[in-house]
Amino acid sequence: MTSSSAPPTGAYVIAKALRDLGVTVIFGIVGIPVVEIAEQAINLGIRFIGFRNEQAAGYAATAYGYLTGKPGVCLVVGGPGVLHAMAGIGNSSSNAFPMLLLAGSSETHLVTKGAFQELDAISLLAPHTKLAARPPALESIPHLIESAYRTSWYGRPGTGFVDLPADLIQGAADSAEDIPQTAPLPLPPASGADEAKLSKIARLLKNAKAPLLVVGKGAAYAQAESSIRALVDQTSIPFLPSPMGKGVLPDSHPANTASARSTALQHADIVLVLGARLNWIFHFGDAPKWNPAARFIQVDIEPSEIGRNGGDAELGIVGDINVVVPQLLSQLSGWTYSPSSSPYLSALAEAKRKNEDKAAKAAAKASLPLTYAHAFDVIKRTLHTLSPPDDGGIVYVSEGANTMDISRSVFPVQHPRLRLDAGTYATMGVGLGYAIAAHEAYNASPSSPEAVSGPKPGRKKIVALEGDSAFGFSAMEVETMARYQMDVLIFVMNNGGVYHGDSDTAEEWLERQGAAGGKGLRSTSLGWEVRYEKIAEACGGLGFFVRTPEELKRATEEGFRTNMPVVVNVVIESGKKGKLEFGWQASAKKGKKGK
Ligand code: ADP
Ligand code: MG
């Protein structure tokens, strides 16, 4: 209650509905008319994290949803606020991360009159959300917020949207008794599979020459690590994690085929897909990347996913990994994949050895300017002395085409949900919002019901590995981090451009920039050796500009121990020297040549 006499305002009713649902943090940006909602929420004990652009706030809410397994909440103004937040909606639906989006809108009686920030947000967002609705009256606000929250969460996650007109936010109820209450919702119901189908799948696995388990970020979101661990430990079936499925099983697990990925795809005949989609990340389940005879058994909570692309519709299971995997394990009744001789296992071992050798050589190759591989090796070694990977004390956020591709295999992840990247949409610009979400999820308040426990209790260091281009999308969020005293350690891998950048040297870059009558800078060009670290300094954080391995090591050590946001600006090779192919393109080409 606001007070015993005054009837509650719409803003209070909204904030209270969120609080009673168990919401502990809201990501967003205030303005007219939503500022009152945020103020009431803060008064009720909800944390409000105010961003510099709704895009990053939306990304943060979705990542928070992924990490905590419950919808992240985002609050924005109408019109332009909604348009910016649409990026978060796209991220939510493409990655299947739950988000509740609340936006203000103009007074209902002014609609079509050219009101302040007027936008028909419901029409715009309905096709992109699981539910988009506007309460017709103040009394219906709690029900609608609960409905949008639940809808975003249950089934395959996505976005629930509630449009909140200014007159409702600013209006007052006749009396407090008219306002219904919300309460925390039970976890989404989880269903299993029928035993006949399971026994058929168990038989196929037992008879497989080359079984493979694919573990995706749906398994990480489902927090299914114990059941999947039991399955792999008992059966010894080789597994392949997706980029964000890394850590559901420790990267160091002997059955991990990540460093022999192409070989695993080429050989696997029975593939059990747990919480991953056969989309571009898994080459649509198609030959020649995959064995043309491979059969894909999908386990997914979303029925429309079953049978999509390479999936076998008859074998697929609509169910929750946490229920289905233990069911399957009991059907396998003690069976272990241990063929007396297996060309599959030998090929995997051989490919692993070769690829890991190659990576070690690249990592050891010191040159100036630094290469990605050597710079990451220096960062990794330094971080590991400060926080051994088994402790799970570091959350990695990674984006930028090459930065993400190359760092993925460098930094081992031993526990689930400790690595976030550009994801299904390959969205560049998510990094800083994700880092804030991770900081909030893991460090904000250990007693909060939404706090993630992780493998070891205690604070986690958030480390963001950013390409210079990716960093630029949301660089101002460093100020957000500083304001909320978030000790995020950001590395900007600075090659002066998108992909490989533009020029090999400063002289070449300057000549191109000024090229009289010439073609000028390439489309991949960014500024030459931009001093990104100064953004951190300007906001009260710490900045380092480094060129050498020694400088990088020192900056990493100091940055790790610092209690505020740190930007380590790492100059790496660019232009023709730094030329690299985007990982998935290179592998697609290789696949074509292969067959
Ligand atoms: P990745 O990018 O790691 O390959 P995707 O995002 O493509 O993963 O796929 C994740 C899949 O996991 C989605 O299809 C989603 O419906 C599914 N999923 C999410 N939670 C569960 C769950 N509890 N049980 C089964 N499937 C789930
Ligand atoms: Mg770059």
Closest C-alpha to ligand 1, atom 15 = 218
Residue 326 — very low, low, confident or very high, per pLDDT cuts 50/70/90?
Answer: very high
**Whether the predicted pLDDT of 489 surpasses 70:** yes
**Whether the predicted pLDDT of 443 surpasses 50:** yes
Query: What are the tens digits of pLDDT across the range 552-566?
Result: 999 999 999 999 999
Q: Is ligand 1 within 6 A of the CB of residue 158?
A: no
- Say how far apart CA 483 and CA 327 lie, in whole Å: 48
Q: How far is the CA of 501 from the centre of ligand 2 (A)?
A: 6
Q: How far is CA 422 from CA 201, 228, 327, 434, in A?
A: 33, 24, 33, 10
- Say how far apart CA 12 and CA 39 lie, in whole Å: 9
Query: What is the predicted pLDDT for the residue at 578?
Result: 74
Question: Tokens 């910016």, residue?
Answer: 84
Query: What is the predicted pLDDT for the residue at 591?
Result: 47
Q: Is ligand 1 within 6 A of the CB of residue 62?
A: no
Residue 452 — very low, low, confident or very high, per pLDDT cuts 50/70/90?
Answer: low
Query: What are the tens digits of pLDDT across the range 185-209?
Result: 999 999 999 999 999 999 999 999 9
Region of residue 79 (phi > 0: left; psi between -120 and 50: alpha; otherwise: beta): left
Query: What is the predicted pLDDT for the residue at 593?
Result: 40
Amino acid at 510: L
Question: What is the per-residue DSSP string for 442-492?
Answer: HHS-TTSTT----SSSS--EEEEEEEHHHHHHTTTHHHHHHHTT---EEEE
Q: How far is the CA of 52 from the centre of ligand 1 (A)?
A: 31
What is the chain's mean pLDDT, rounded? 94
Q: Supply the angle between the helices 372-386 and 343-364 in degrees, to the nearest 10.
A: 90
Nearest residue to 431 via CA among 489, 370, 388 = 489
Query: What is the predicted pLDDT for the residue at 155?
Result: 97
Query: What is the predicted pLDDT for the residue at 6?
Result: 78
Residue 2 — very low, low, confident or very high, per pLDDT cuts 50/70/90?
Answer: very low
Amino acid at 362: A
Nearest residue to 196 via CA among 334, 317, 325 = 317
Q: Measured from the CA of 214, which atom of ligand 1 is nearest? A: 4
Query: What is the predicted pLDDT for the residue at 456?
Result: 66
Q: Is ligand 1 within 6 A of the CB of residue 247?
A: no
Model's pTM, two decimal places?
Answer: 0.96
Query: What are the tens digits of pLDDT across the range 243-295?
Result: 999 999 999 999 999 999 999 999 999 999 999 999 999 999 999 999 999 99
Q: How far is CA 230 from CA 225, 242, 316, 326, 332, in A?
A: 9, 19, 21, 8, 12
Q: Look at 2 and 123; give whichever has higher pLDDT.
A: 123
Q: What is the helix (H) or strand (E) element at residue 542, kind and residue range?
A: strand 542-546
**Whether the predicted pLDDT of 297 surpasses 50:** yes
Query: What is the predicted pLDDT for the residue at 592?
Result: 45
**Whether the predicted pLDDT of 479 surpasses 50:** yes
Query: What are the tens digits of pLDDT across the range 32-55?
Result: 999 999 999 999 999 999 999 999
- Say how far apart CA 563 and CA 353 lie, in whole Å: 40
Residue 518 — very low, low, confident or very high, per pLDDT cuts 50/70/90?
Answer: confident
**Whether the predicted pLDDT of 528 surpasses 80:** yes
Q: Would you say 146 and 17 are in contact if contact means Cβ atoms under 8 Å apart?
A: yes
**Whether the predicted pLDDT of 582 surpasses 70:** no
Ligand lying closest to the C-alpha of residue 494: 2
Query: What is the predicted pLDDT for the residue at 307?
Result: 97
Query: What is the predicted pLDDT for the residue at 459?
Result: 86
Q: How far is the CA of 436 from the centre of ligand 2 (A)?
A: 22
**Whether the predicted pLDDT of 457 surpasses 80:** no
Query: What are the tens digits of pLDDT across the range 54-78?
Result: 999 999 999 999 999 999 999 999 9
Query: What is the predicted pLDDT for the residue at 594?
Result: 38
Q: How many CA atoms lie within 13 A of 302 on its CB side?
A: 16
Q: Would you say 260 and 348 are in contact if contact means Cβ atoms under 8 Å apart?
A: yes
Q: Is ligand 1 within 6 A of the CB of residue 305?
A: yes
3 state SS of 421 = strand
- Say how far apart CA 552 and CA 570 lie, in whole Å: 7
Predicted-complex ipTM score: 0.98
Q: Is ligand 1 within 6 A of the CB of residue 321?
A: yes
Substitution candidate for ligand 1 out of 300, 421, 430 with most atoms within 8 A of CB: 300
Query: What is the predicted pLDDT for the residue at 175?
Result: 87
Region of residue 351 (phi > 0: left; psi between -120 and 50: alpha; otherwise: beta): alpha
Closest C-alpha to ligand 1, atom 20 = 218
Q: How far is the CA of 369 from the centre of ligand 2 (A)?
A: 14
Nearest residue to 262 via CA among 283, 243, 284, 237 = 283
Ligand lying closest to the C-alpha of residue 502: 2
Q: Supply the angle between the helices 10-21 and 35-43 in degrees, to the nearest 10.
A: 50
**Whether the predicted pLDDT of 502 surpasses 50:** yes
Closest C-alpha to ligand 1, atom 9 = 276
Q: Is ligand 1 within 6 A of the CB of residue 369?
A: no
Q: Measured from the CA of 241, which atom of ligand 1 is nearest? A: 3
Query: What are the tens digits of pLDDT across the range 128-166?
Result: 999 999 999 999 999 999 999 999 999 999 999 999 999
Q: Is ligand 1 within 6 A of the CB of residue 222?
A: yes
Q: How far is the CA of 49 from the centre of ligand 1 (A)?
A: 28
Query: What is the predicted pLDDT for the residue at 329?
Result: 97
Amino acid at 348: L
Query: What are the tens digits of pLDDT across the range 347-375?
Result: 999 999 999 999 999 999 989 999 999 99
Q: What is the mean pLDDT of residues 82-101?
A: 98
Residue 5 — very low, low, confident or very high, per pLDDT cuts 50/70/90?
Answer: low
